[in-house]
């Protein structure tokens, strides 16, 4: 995992995401999820090129059940984009790099 993608959990979610200074993307994933493994390198690449616009984070749904439950995560990967502590956009499933860039540019 790239150092630019911060692993978050139920206990630091509020501080790292909801109270963040700028926009934040949360990748809700699990190690056994094939599409999660496929989108991981795309997110790492974007964190290298767009990390100055948005904070990239990931939350393991198996290890942290409270946060995914709060946001009604039913399928993974689910990417939720937060701005000023509120949900600004959301993507479910494996999507391409251009779609993620489009959302990041829209909210940042």
Query: What is the domain range of residue 46?
Result: 5-107
The 8 Å CB, 24+ separation contacts for 11-17 are 13/59, 13/64, 13/67, 16/55, 16/57, 17/57, 17/82, 17/85
Record the pTM: 0.95
Mark whether 59 is an active-site residue. no
What are the tens digits of pLDDT across the range 49-107? Answer: 999 999 999 999 999 999 999 999 999 999 999 999 999 999 999 999 999 999 999 99
Q: Where residue 22 sits, what CATH number does that domain have?
A: 3.40.30.10
List the catalytic residue out of 6, 33, 79, 80. Answer: 33
Number of folded domains that form the chain: 1
Tell me which of 36, 46, 76, 80 is the catalytic residue: 36
Identify whether 33 is a catalytic site residue: yes
């Amino acid at each position: 995992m790239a150092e630019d993608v911060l692993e978050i959990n139920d206990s630091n979610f509020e501080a790292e995401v909801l109270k963040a200074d700028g926009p934040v993307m949360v990748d809700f994933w699990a190690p056994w999820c094939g599409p999660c493994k496929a989108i991981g390198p795309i997110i790492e690449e974007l964190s290298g090129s767009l990390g100055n616009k948005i904070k990239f984070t990931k939350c393991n749904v198996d290890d942290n059940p409270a946060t995914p439950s709060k946001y009604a995560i039913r399928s993974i990967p689910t990417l939720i984009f937060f701005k000023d502590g509120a949900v600004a956009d959301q993507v479910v499933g494996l999507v391409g790099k251009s779609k993620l860039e489009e959302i990041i540019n829209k909210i940042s």
